[in-house]
Amino acid sequence: MEDKKANIVAVTTVVALIILIIVSRVFLKLSEAFFLICGAGAAVILAVFAYLIIRRHYNRRRMLMESRLVSEGRELRTEYSFLRKVAGVPTKFRHKDLEEATDHFRSLVGQGASATVFKGILNDGTAVAVKRINNGEERGEKEFRSEVAAIASVQHVNLVHLLGYCCSPGMPRLLVYEFIPNGSLDCWIFPRRETQNRRGGCLSWESRYRVAIDVAKALSYLHHDCRNVCLIGNDEKRAEKKWQYYPKIVNDKMREGKLMEVVDQRVLEGGGIDEKEVRRLVYVALWCIQERARLRPTMARVVEMLEGRTTVDEPPETRMIIVDLLSIDEDTPDGHKRRKIAAMAPHLVDCNLPSTSTCSFAMSIISPSAVFWGAKMSFTGPSVGSGGQTARRAFEFGRTYVVRPKGRHQATVVWLHGLGDNGSSWSQLLESLPLPNIKWICPTAPTQPITVFGGFPSTAWFDVGDLSEDAPDDLEGLDAAAAHVANLLSTEPTDIKLGVGGFSMGAATALYSGSCFTQGKFGNGNPYPAKLSAVVGLSGWLPCAKTLANKLQGVDEAARRAASLPILLCHGKGDDVVPYKFGDKSSRALGSSGFQDVSFKSYNGLGHYTIPEEMDEICGWLTSKLGLEGSSS
């Protein structure tokens, strides 16, 4: 546009000068003035032409340079894109492109509690799996990008590769993976039921053995070779819901020398099975589930065993049992419900053996300021399944960890762990909270037989006979646990505010302790000595909820305590261990019983575990209710 304007101005100027010269010739004849005007006009015309020539030459060079830069930029972008793909750097996709690739998110592949997966075809024809994260907007963009970087750094031939991501404001977070056309592995291993509409088949023995080796290599890479990703093994959901299975049938067949009887009949019919490989697989599997960590092989050694590069000795006996914790009801093919609890090994029935819990948190060594060892305590009261008869049980509480306050000591809180856990796992987390004025006491529950586990011993504050709302409460165990809490708080100075909290079964014990405080006595009638100022329950429930209102009715002092006791309940709506409705009903039961300062916080998508947002809520609530330094109260 500028060149066109310049040309118009130049032509106009030249034409005007020529007209001026012609007019001068007519009126001035051949006078001296005419020659002066003619010379000046000619000079200007030559200058205009010179300007046009120079400008045209300059513009030509500029256009040539621009085209060269555009070409080089295109090549650089192409090379950069190629290098990104070679290096495995994730690409940032536009939400619109992924929406078109997945046919507006209609090509559903699978769905879970936290995400939904869709199949998509990119513009270049690449098949991808687009994972849409549910409630992903709750996390910040920085945290999401950090997770993407960590996932993208994990690259292995036996791990699904992350191709890219999408992080658009106001839109769900999306992860783009390479598409695996063969589908889920379970469809190729387990027989297809008539009610299932899925593709799949029966893997040959050679393919199954190859899969076992490839999976072991992937795990070995994650454990030993992947430096950018930290594997954490203290998944509370897995810890309190799923116990590791001990393949008792395989172990028995191995001892009897009948290993081929455990192989899938369909694979046997196909032939091509190497009995040595079957034996090697069984041996490796049994070595991997040994109770003692020093006996279990590393993943690198597992790969060597499976590939036959090292000999595999026959594994020793183990005392692990078959239990599917908290998964009681399962639909049978005929539509009926069946109890999903397997029998324990006969030599464990006496329950005198030490606990071999495989569902506790990963242990970490800390340096507590003080360590207590529990003593045996006896309480009288009805026990689970006793039919109203009194029983006397001895409760030997485990190790107690104390986290000293970093600032001025203003409050002491006893924190109770969940089923199968211990005080060590929570003490480290509580020590990291920004609550420098609180002293944390983290006891360990006694190891006792659990009815719902078929009598298998585990660390628990009380016995659990059933997992329904109408299940009987173990008042004897609850009283013992509440008395232990009161005993731990009894030595605190009188000017220190006292509180109790817990997670899961620990939350139930904390709420029971709060109800005992309001009544002024335990369930067995003994007086409750401690004065509580706060109660916190995470992912738990309220024991004896149906009778609480009647116990407080007509007692003025109990009603006053209930009205003034602050209680915080937090529960995830995705909790499939202690259902969300248990926490909701507990909150409403407390409110109807006269507890006026009850706060109930729910979290969408949260399972049976804690998240930073939940811990932040606890910190702010405790700071406010206990009047700690930094609070506005």
CB 89 within 8 A of CB 82: no
Structure token pair of residue 67: 């085209």
- 416 lies in the same domain as 555: yes
- In the three-class reduction of DSSP (H, G, I as helix; E, B as strand; rest coil), residue 140 is classed as coil
Average pLDDT value for residue range 220-240: 56
Q: What is the dihedral of CA 480, 482, 487, 491, to 10 degrees?
A: 170
- 77 lies in the same domain as 96: no
At residue 84, the pLDDT reads: 53
The answer to whether residue 234 sits within a structural domain is no
Catalytic residue, chosen from 504, 513, 539, 587, is 504
What residue numbers bound the domain in which 15 lies? 2-87
The answer to whether residue 347 sits within a structural domain is no
- In the three-class reduction of DSSP (H, G, I as helix; E, B as strand; rest coil), residue 184 is classed as coil
Out of 1-5, 140-144, 228-232, 624-628, least confident range? 228-232
380 pLDDT above the threshold of 60:
no
CB 395 within 8 A of CB 476: no
Please state the separation of Cα 276 from the chain's center in Å.
39
The answer to whether residue 59 sits within a structural domain is yes
Q: Is 142 annotated as a binding residue?
A: no
- 66 lies in the same domain as 110: no
Give the containing element (helix H, strand E) for 152. helix 141-152
Starting at the edge strand found earlier in the chain, the sheet holding 91-92 runs 91-92, 162-166, 174-178, 127-133, 115-121, 108-111
Name the amino acid, one letter, at 314: E
Nearest to 93 by CA among 136, 128, 63: 128
Average pLDDT value for residue range 595-620: 91
CB 565 within 8 A of CB 514: yes
Structure token pair of residue 622: 């405790």
- 111 lies in the same domain as 55: no
> 307 vs 244, which has greater pLDDT?
307
- 427 lies in the same domain as 575: yes
At residue 351, the pLDDT reads: 35
Chain segment 539-551, per-residue pLDDT in tens: 999 998 888 888 8
Q: Which of 58, 87, 116 is the last residue of a domain?
A: 87
Out of 90-94, 274-278, 385-389, 524-528, least confident range? 385-389
Chain segment 80-122, per-residue pLDDT in tens: 555 555 555 678 888 899 999 999 888 888 877 678 899 999 9
Chain segment 3-47, per-residue pLDDT in tens: 777 778 888 888 888 888 888 877 877 777 878 888 888 888 888
Catalytic residue, chosen from 458, 575, 587, 593, is 575
- 6 lies in the same domain as 136: no
Show Cβ contacts of residue 142 under 8 Å, excluding neighbours closer than 6 positions.
none
At residue 246, the pLDDT reads: 44
The pLDDT-based confidence of 243 (bands split at 50, 70, 90) is: very low
- 402 lies in the same domain as 516: yes
pTM: 0.45
The pLDDT-based confidence of 367 (bands split at 50, 70, 90) is: very low
241 pLDDT above the threshold of 90:
no
At residue 110, the pLDDT reads: 81
The answer to whether residue 361 sits within a structural domain is no
- 82 lies in the same domain as 104: no
Per-residue exposure over 423-461, b if at least 16 CB sit within 10 Å of its own CB, e if not: bbbbbbbbbeeebebbbbbbbbbbbbbbbbbbebbbbbb
- In the three-class reduction of DSSP (H, G, I as helix; E, B as strand; rest coil), residue 599 is classed as strand
Average pLDDT value for residue range 61-87: 71
CB 129 within 8 A of CB 120: yes
Distance in angstroms (rounded) separating the CA atoms of residues 502 and 512: 11
The answer to whether residue 191 sits within a structural domain is no
The answer to whether residue 389 sits within a structural domain is yes
Decide if 329 is catalytic: no
DSSP letters along 259-302, please?
GGGGS-HHHHHH----HHHHHHHHHHHHHHT-SSGGGSPPHHHH
Residue 164 bridge partners (DSSP): 91, 176
Residue 339 bridge partners (DSSP): 329
- 506 lies in the same domain as 593: yes
- 34 lies in the same domain as 116: no
511 pLDDT above the threshold of 90:
yes
226 pLDDT above the threshold of 70:
no
Number of residues written out for the chain: 633
Rg (CA), the chain: 37
Q: Which of 181, 199, 220 is the last residue of a domain?
A: 181
- 391 lies in the same domain as 445: yes
> 312 vs 342, which has greater pLDDT?
312
Structure token pair of residue 6: 């310049």
435 pLDDT above the threshold of 90:
yes
- 67 lies in the same domain as 48: yes
How many angstroms separate the Cα of 92 from the Cα of each of 107, 291, 349, 619? 21, 45, 58, 37
Decide if 473 is catalytic: no
Q: Which of 33, 59, 87 is the last residue of a domain?
A: 87
157 pLDDT above the threshold of 70:
yes
At residue 424, the pLDDT reads: 86
Domain count, the chain: 3
Please report where in the chains the tokens 């040539």 appear, as a residue: 64
At residue 319, the pLDDT reads: 52
At residue 602, the pLDDT reads: 94
Chain segment 296-326, per-residue pLDDT in tens: 898 888 989 998 888 888 888 765 543 333 3
Decide if 504 is catalytic: yes
The answer to whether residue 605 sits within a structural domain is yes
CB 460 within 8 A of CB 355: no
The answer to whether residue 569 sits within a structural domain is yes
- The CATH number covering residue 383 comes to 3.40.50.1820
Check residue 445 and report its DSSP letter: P
